[in-house]
Amino acid sequence: MSFESYMAKRFIKSKPYKNTVSSPIIKISILSIVIGIVMMIISISSSVGLQKTIESKVSSFFGHISISNFENNSSFSSINPLINDFEYDLLLNNTSIKYFQSVAYKSGLIIKGNGFEGVVLKGVTSNFNWENFSNYITSGRVVSLKNDISNEVLISEHLSNKLLINLDDKFKATFFKSNSLSAPNERIFKVVGIYNSGLTEFDELYFLGDIRHIQKMNNWNIDDAGGIEVFLNNYSLTDKVSIDLYNKTPSEISVMSINERFPEIFNWMSLFDFNVLLIIIIMILVGGINMITALLVTVLEKTAIIGILKTVGASNKSIRSIFLINGAYLIGLGLFIGNIIGTGLIFFQNATGFIKLDPQTYYVSEFPFDFNLMSLIILNFGVLFFCFLMLIIPSFIITRISPTNSIRIK
């Protein structure tokens, strides 16, 4: 053990040191580090958790990238099928793409008793991946698509409550044709499942059923679809893959990422990163300033000891190291306690969901916290580094202490 480490350890463990004037200041400084790291952990985990949850919900509905004809892109209904010469190899050969699926949309009305509601039928095929979407099914099951056209549908809790349509009920839906003089199409559907995604603007509009109804109403071929939903292995690649597909597809094809399709949601989410960065900067400054105060008070309180150490030959650099090691210990202690509290709150929230949110505002009913060990390690080292860095300049006050005067004062 070096001389500096030994002396710092003696300072920390000495009983007189714990009962001095600087003791409450040191405790306040440690508390500021504890509060700061807890705030930073909660801010980062809640921000990332909320972003991931919302991204997962939106992509479960529409995929990370939507491919369709341009005329279908501006309408709730798929007007014309995707061009027949679309090169599916562009999707099959892209390693960033997890899977893709064909879909079509048709706007209409659900009529139940004296009530009605404007809706959009999302037509899906037997190859539709229910893995992500099934997480939002609150009762019933997914739609079964066999050889014959299926009348089974999945509706939202919002539509279920508003139109008083329950599980296993049947209802009539009317779909208007592009030619207003033609008689509308009518279908009788049976509810086999009810979902609640928490995304109000989607839940009050969409219900899922067999794509063959839309194909028949639009006089399409059995292999036709209104568009393709592309799901990626990593959301962060969305813009890159979207631009790449756009450059490789014909001019009449629209390739749109969910960031472009729902800019209001993802622009709002991007504000989280700035808010979190602001919180981190403020908390580091507050913690660092408190540690500086504790260091200065400790140095002034230990003036006589500093004078004695200089008298016996200790250099200014060595004495500064003693107090910096002491400061690093106090910062580390605050980080240790703060990490226990912060991670404890994360796991408690994820297990109980005691912090509730308004789903109409935040798209989730409970605060989702994301725990990432690597982010936590980087955060701790970052706080330790910057707080320690802030202690270096104030520690130079030690060089201005005269051994003669300091010992005489004692």
The tens digit of pLDDT for each residue in 210-221 reads: 999 999 998 888
**Predicted TM-score of the model (pTM):** 0.79
In the predicted model, is pLDDT for residue 326 greater than 60? yes
CB–CB of 352/359 below 8 Å?
no
- pLDDT category at 310 given cuts 50, 70, 90 is confident
In this structure, what DSSP letter does residue 75 have?
S
Residue among 189, 116, 197, 99 nearest 153 (CA) = 189
Read off the pLDDT of residues 248-300 as tens digits, 9 standing for 90 and up. Answer: 888 888 899 999 888 888 888 888 888 888 888 998 888 888 888 888 877 77
From the number of C-beta atoms within 10 Å of its C-beta (0-12, 13-18, 19+), residue 315 rates as exposed
| pLDDT above 90 coverage of the chain, percent | 26
Residue 136 and residue 57 in contact, taking contact as beta carbons nearer than 8 Å: yes
Number of Cβ within a 10 Å radius of residue 349: 19
Phi, psi of 166 (to 5 degrees): -105, 175
Over the stretch 363-378, which tens digit does the pLDDT of each residue have? 777 888 998 899 999 9
Q: Are 311 and 403 a contacting pair, CB within 8 Å?
A: yes
Task: Work out the pLDDT band at 407, boundaries 50, 70, 90.
Answer: low
Domain ranges of the chain: 3-56+266-409, 61-262
